[in-house]
């Protein structure tokens, strides 16, 4: 089972990959990086993408419900505050941000502990394949071993 470095190396083999990182969205720290950073500094990129990931993971709008998931894999009811309980793992699978020059794909990683990490892949818009990147990042995230 591959660790962080192996997974980031694999992500960098995707067509158009410019940079990749594994980020803890709670702290905003990069746990590993490969390739370039859009702003020239991987730590700044990690902190900025963590803000986006944290917002998506914590906003009620993105919480899955039984109705959304067709009765499978959604939230299991209401919590003490009346809001839907989160299903296992992060409520969001991935985020895609499109810029004039590229794509940023943030893939949340489900872990055996409190999931608060995501893979960030920066793709060149001209040579990247967004659909392929999304499918391959899912596979990379599923086989990533943390700990």
Q: Over its length of 147 residues, how does the chain's per-residue pLDDT go in tens digits? A: 578 999 999 999 999 999 999 999 999 999 999 999 999 999 999 999 999 999 988 888 887 665 554 444 443 344 444 433 445 566 789 999 999 999 999 999 987 776 689 999 999 999 999 999 999 999 999 998 775
| Nearest one of 12, 36, 5, 32 to 21, comparing CA atoms | 32
Helical residues (DSSP H) of the chain, grouped into ranges: 4-11, 42-58, 130-143
The interaxial angle of helices 130-143 and 4-11, nearest 10 deg, is 170
> 96 and 105 in contact (C-beta within 8 Å)?
yes
Q: Looking at residue 76, what is its pLDDT?
A: 39
> Rounded CA gap, 127 and 123, in Å?
8
> 59 and 66 in contact (C-beta within 8 Å)?
no
> 48 and 74 in contact (C-beta within 8 Å)?
no
Q: Looking at residue 67, what is its pLDDT?
A: 54
Q: Looking at residue 66, what is its pLDDT?
A: 57
Q: Looking at residue 85, what is its pLDDT?
A: 42
**Residues in Cβ contact with 105 at an 8 Å cutoff, skipping those fewer than 6 apart:** 94, 95, 96, 119, 120, 121, 123, 130, 133, 134, 137
> Rounded CA gap, 49 and 44, in Å?
9
Q: Looking at residue 116, what is its pLDDT?
A: 87
> 83 and 108 in contact (C-beta within 8 Å)?
no
């Amino acid at each position: 089972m591959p660790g962080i470095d192996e997974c980031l190396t694999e992500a960098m083999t995707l067509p158009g990959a410019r940079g990749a990182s594994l980020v803890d969205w709670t702290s905003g720290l990069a746990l590993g990086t490969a390739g370039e950073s859009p702003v020239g500094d991987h730590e700044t990129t990690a902190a900025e993408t963590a803000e986006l990931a944290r917002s998506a993971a914590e906003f009620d709008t993105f919480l899955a419900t039984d109705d959304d998931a067709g009765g499978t894999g959604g939230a299991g009811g209401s919590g003490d505050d009346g809001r839907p309980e989160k299903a296992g793992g992060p409520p969001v699978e991935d985020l895609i941000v499109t810029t004039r020059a590229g794509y940023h794909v943030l893939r949340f990683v489900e872990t055996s502990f409190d999931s608060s990490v995501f893979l960030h892949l920066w793709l060149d818009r001209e040579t990247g394949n967004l659909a392929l990147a999304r499918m391959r990042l899912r596979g990379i995230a599923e086989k990533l071993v943390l700990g």
